[in-house]
Chain A
Amino acid sequence: QVQLQESGPGLVKPSGTLSLTCAVSGGSISSSNWWSWVRQPPGKGLEWIGEIYHSGSTNYNPSLKSRVTISVDKSKNQFSLKLSSVTAADTAVYYCARDMDDSSGFRAFDIWGQGTMVTVSS
């Protein structure tokens, strides 16, 4: 079955750029699904960051849009997140997630990665 695995630096300096990758295994990123990034600050709730389709179409959380770029690499079967101008408020566990099949008519994340902790600190 499809599995997702996040990877990237666990420590990023303030004002720098956070970069993460989500590798998709057991399935194709070119399937009929949207692929998302979700984050969770320590002890807090979930925040959606944005999503991408294999065509390259994207949607972003309006509150983060100016700092976020999500891209897809079909040759490597993965998608990536870049978050610029980070501060301590961006410290969180970052998850990648797959939305249900686009043809189902539903929107819900049926598969999640295990998450990766990113700390913003000098």
Chain B
Amino acid sequence: EIVLTQSPGTLSLSPGERATLSCRASQSVSSSYLAWYQQKPGQAPRLLIYGASSRATGIPDRFSGSGSGTDFTLTISRLEPEDFAVYYCQQYGSSLRFGQGTKLEIK
């Protein structure tokens, strides 16, 4: 079973800065089955990126995804106040798994 490890666990940055979040898989993952979500307190997750690099409908272009194989990255080019949240990666291989999440907090 594929395990996803996200790093860092917590990322402290200021608005306007660039955020780089990592998702590493224990085995190679199909890029078509790699997604990223944003979750704010008390809300359901929101799809940001699917297929490792495609933005979901309505997602600002400051969000971008990249990577292949076992290493994937979510980048937020310039942080806005509303971007501070928890981010999860997700893959569907033999089963569906989420990473443990990265909390992006205001520095």
Cβ contact within 8 Å between B45 and A46: yes
- List 6 additional contacts besides A62-B1, A105-B32, A112-B45; criterion CB under 8 Å: A45-B98, A45-B101, A48-B97, A59-B96, A107-B33, A110-B57
Interface of A is mostly: loop
Interchain pairs with CB closer than 8 A, number = 63
Cβ contact within 8 Å between B44 and A107: no
Cβ contact within 8 Å between A47 and B44: no
Q: B56 within 8 Å of A by Cβ?
A: yes
Q: Which residues of A contact B (CB under 8 A)?
A: 36, 45-48, 51, 59, 61-62, 95, 100, 105-110, 112-115
Cβ contact within 8 Å between A107 and B98: no
Give B58-76 as 1s and 0s: 1 = Cβ < 8 Å from A's Cβ atoms: 0000000000000000000
